[in-house]
Amino acid sequence: MSRLLLNCDIGESFGNWTMGLDAEVMPFIDCANIACGFHAGDPSIMRKTVGLALANGVRVGAHPAYQDLAGFGRRSMAYGAQELQDLLHYQIGALDGICRAQGGRVSYVKPHGAMYNDMMAKPAQLRAVIEAVAAYDKTLPLMLMATRDNRAAQALGDEYGVTLWFEAFADRAYDSAGHLVSRQLPGAVHHDSATIIAQALTIARGEALQASDGSALQLQANTLCVHGDNASSVAAVQRIRAALQQLPA
């Protein structure tokens, strides 16, 4: 990929409870990370969200999580490697079946919440996730966090023949290692739209960000995570899309 793709967590409603402005943000993104029922979503929400993505020409990605509906998948849980792979295959397969029924396919995988954070912190868990994706379909890219040094993760992807899409965030502060600053600390989340757009463009140009300690941080990213959970965030996504389109190819 030569152009930075915009991805968004989508399909996180449940039953009669609505979360996010999926229909409003969908026309401005490239990749929809669709919840697979374990942290959010249900079969009907999955079907509707897949249909919305396909109608807008957006790539459908499986967004699997720990089995933690009450905690929105944000709590770490102890799973063995095989149990983790079973969770992944169950959720990817469910979404892929819904896609097939509508003439589409799952085209990548992005773990959610605590599963995502744990795989970035624990090499053995990242190996288990990559192995699970390879066993399901080696052609599916795996989305994971871009850090200061992606070489260890890339080596694992190469070992299993799985393409890795490295992800950056426009609205989050980074530490010197290229990890996200904890939400418990001040300044961890950017709220000013001008700051968010400027960071998106810096990442898209391959230029250095300023880490929380003041050091220069270079992130090699393929995709940028954006949010569509309120009207202001949808407006920011529109502005990011417009700004990226002005960059030279």
Which tens digits make up the pLDDT trace of 101-158? 999 999 999 999 999 999 999 999 999 999 999 999 999 999 999 999 999 999 999 9
Rounded to two decimals, the pTM is: 0.94
Q: Which helix (H) or strand (E) holds 24?
A: helix 22-25
- In this structure, the strands spanning 31-35 and 5-10 are parallel
**pLDDT tens, residue by residue, 40-80:** 999 999 999 999 999 999 999 999 999 999 999 999 999 99
Look up tokens 């029924």; give the residue.
Answer: 101
Domains and CATH numbers, the chain: 16-245 (3.20.20.370)
